[in-house]
Amino acid sequence: MIRFESVTKRYDADGPVAVDNLSLVAPSGQITVFVGPSGCGKTTSLRMINRMIEPSSGTIWIDDVDTAKGSSSELRRGIGYVIQHAGLFPHRTILDNVATVPFLLGRDKREARKGAMELLERVGLDPAFATRYPAQLSGGQQQRVGVARALAADPPVMLMDEPFSAVDPIVREQLQNEFLRLQQDLGKTIVFVTHDIDEAIKLGDQVAVLRVGGRLAQMASPAELLARPADPFVAAFVGRDRGYRALGFTTAGTLDLDKGAAARLGTDLTAVRGSTADGWLLVVDDDDLPQGWINTLELTDEQLKGQITPDLLNLGGTLAHEGGSLREVLDAALSSPSGWGVVVDADGRLAGTITAEKVLTKIRQERSAAAAAGAGP
Amino acid sequence: MSQVWSYFQNHQSQIGQETWTTVWLAALPLLIGTLIALPVGWWASRTRWLYLPLITTAGILYTIPSIVLFVSMPGLIGTKILAPENVAIALTVYTFALMVRVSADAFGSVSGDAMSAAAAMGFTTRQRLFSVQLPIAVPVLGAGIRVAAVSNVSLVSVASTIGVAQLGSLFIEGNQNSDLHPIVLALILFVLLALVFDGLVLLGIRLLTPWQRAVTAR
């Protein structure tokens, strides 16, 4: 557990306050995200935990130990740290980069390298990278090494300073998902700084929204933050689409799925045309995996004489999973070219289709159920 | 050319002696000047206000003609007029002047990310300097040392004008006797020496920076 107790930071004695009387608790084994616009003191707050920046007043406790006591170097060796551009040492191999802190702690070099090797695999890096140098890796790979390095001495606490901001959106999403999976296994106490509210909501067990001037605006779980922003600043910062994004925290439960038959690839079109009023047919393969949509009304007479082939399919539309979130199901319905959202089971086989109207009905039901239970608005 | 060769054979022991003097007059100042410049450059790279005055002073030092520095040494530090120490100390000043700037820039060029990551992982300032900053600065430092090494070799030759015997004395000798052979011989030897110095420094850099080759090989 990390506890801020009335922590204030001023860089100049008479200057403005960077962090203003911050008190909060980052619980053990959870991810606490600091989020806010530039100048809100989120990075300053993070860096005060390992004394890269010394607080002007107040105390930061890690498990009831005052961090201000003792040497800062020793404190830092017990805290994992990941920064934006990874900050790897260009002159050391990937393996030695990962083993940096064990080396510093004077552990046996062979043991440290062995542990580092295991960590490389754990963060999803090919062991062949071990003998390479950082400049030979892509940004995303370097960031994985950065995470492995922070984990090397198995610290109970990890600080992460915008670790995924400098990579492209696709790699960022991969890194985020892997990070969440890793945390499920490891259960570290993590403080994570980002300016990206979507990232905060995705990763945080709880989110601290800071406003300019270093004041805590709201500290809440992501669902709570979306459902009940504390004030206009938080509401504006959490942003648009928050009603839609909040659906991501509610599982869909049992859905009223339409189990209407789907057409198989290779079927003669003459056999299936006219079987739906709007012309749209969902096409699956022999294993019942959805392949795409076909609109028989838009096909030429020539095409209608043939069979259903992959090149005729409209691939638009996301797939929702049974047991997924309401957001996923609603998105499947909204993005489907036919207006019917495709829901699949755990193996990816077609479970059924559903319209956006039915999803909205479901959402209304969930709300009244929650209200009846006294747990929601 | 064969006459240059026979000149060399006839004066072997004298030339051997002079080559040795040239080598240590160039090498020792290179070593000492660099060793003094490193901490000063490091200090300048950390202290913003110090950088500009220090670099400017070093630049001015470097523009003093070598002959002036050689002859003013006895007056400044009380050595004998013909002492080779005058040359050694003057060249140390030049090496220092060149390397202060190089080392300030070399230390300053080390990525802030790597430095702050090192601090965040619990490196002490000293550990950070010796196991992160210095090794990463080697390529830039090395490039500066190569320039200083070659420049020292060529500056040594000027010392013959103040009577310190080394390979440059062959130029004076050739000039006085209107004999081209010692001049050509000295020219060849100076070029060879410069190449050897440069090669040795280059070798040292390569041994210290396997990571640079791995990157360029990609």
- The reply to whether residue A83 touches residue B117, judged by beta carbons under 8 angstroms, is yes
Q: Residue A255 burial (CB < 10 Å; 0-12/13-18/19+)?
A: buried
Nearest-by-CA chain A residue for B212: A91
Question: Contact B120/A91, CB-based, under 8 Å?
Answer: no
Asked whether the beta carbons of A193 and A210 are under 8 A apart, the reply is no
| Residue A240 scores a pLDDT above 80 | no
Contact B116 A91 (CB under 8 A): no
With beta carbons under 8 A apart, name residues in chain A contacting B117: 81, 83, 86-89, 146
Digit-coded pLDDT (tens) for A311-350: 888 888 889 988 888 999 999 999 999 889 999 998 889 9
Once rounded to an integer, what is the mean pLDDT over residues A54-74?
93
Q: How far is B116 from chain A (nearest CA, A)?
A: 8
In this complex, is the C-beta atom of B111 within 8 Å of any C-beta atom belonging to chain A? yes
Residue-by-residue DSSP string for chain B = -HHHHHHHHHTHHHHHHHHHHHHHHHHHHHHHHHHHHHHHHHHHHH-HHHHHHHHHHHHHHHHS-HHHHHHHHHHHH---TT-HHHHHHHHHHHHHHHHHHHHHHHHHTS-HHHHHHHHHTT--HHHHIIIIIHHHHHHHHHHHHHHHHHHHHHHHHHGGGGT--STTHHHHHHHHTT-HHHHHHHHHHHHHHHHHHHHHHHHHHHHH-HHHHHHHT-
pLDDT at residue B167, rounded to an integer: 85
Q: Do A81 and B132 touch (CB under 8 A)?
A: no
**Pairwise CA distance, residues B198 & B145, whole Å:** 9
Cβ-defined contact of B211 to A92 (cutoff 8 Å):
yes
Q: Which of residues 136-165 of B touch A (CB under 8 A)?
A: 136
- Judging contacts by C-beta atoms under 8 Å, the chain B residues touching residue A73 are 122-124
- Please give the mean pLDDT across all residues of chain A: 90
Q: What is the pLDDT of residue B163?
A: 73
Q: What percent of chain A has pLDDT over 70?
A: 99
Verify whether the Cβ–Cβ distance A89 to B132 is below 8 Å.
yes
pLDDT digits (tens, 9 = 90+) for A72-121: 999 999 999 999 888 999 999 999 999 999 999 999 999 999 999 999 99
pLDDT bin (cut points 50, 70, 90) of residue B217 is low
Q: How far is CA A136 from CA A128, B6, B80, B137, in A?
A: 12, 55, 56, 19
Mean pLDDT to the nearest integer, A38-52? 94
CB B69 within 8 A of CB B93: yes
Residue B105 contacts residue B58 (beta carbons within 8 Å): no
Percent of chain B scoring above 90 in pLDDT:
49
Which tokens is A164 given? 């995924």
pLDDT at B215 (0 to 100): 67
List helix spans (H) across A255-349. 269-272, 301-304, 326-335
Q: Which of A44, A91, A93, A109 to mutate to test the interface with B (most CBs of B within 10 A)?
A: A91
pLDDT at B159 over 90: no
Q: What confidence score (pLDDT) does residue A262 get?
A: 86
The whole-number average pLDDT for the span B115-144 is 94
Instruction: Sort strands A17-26 and A65-66 into parallel, antiparallel or unpaired.
Output: unpaired
Residue A69 in contact with partner chain B when CB distance is under 8 A:
no
pLDDT score recorded for residue A296: 86
Q: Is the Cβ pair B121, A75 closer than 8 Å?
A: no
Give B53→chain A minimum CA distance, Å. 27
Residue A31 touches partner B, C-beta closer than 8 Å: no
Residue A377 has pLDDT above 50, yes or no: no
Assess A128–B contact: CB distance below 8 Å, yes or no. Answer: no
Whether the predicted pLDDT of B32 surpasses 90? yes
- Which A residues 149-188 touch B at CB under 8 Å? 149, 159
Whether B193 and chain A come into contact, CB under 8 Å, resolves to: no
pLDDT category at B192 given cuts 50, 70, 90 is: very high
Q: Which of A84, A89, A159 sits opposite B114 (nearest CB)?
A: A89
pTM for this entry: 0.78
Question: Do residues A285 and A264 touch, judged by C-beta distance below 8 A?
Answer: yes
A contacts of B109 (beta carbons < 8 Å):
none
Q: Å from B95 to nearest chain A CA?
A: 27
B216: confidence class by pLDDT, cuts 50, 70, 90: low
Answer for the pair B117, A47: CB distance below 8 angstroms, yes or no: no
Only one residue has tokens 């103040």, namely: B162
* pLDDT score at A376: 46
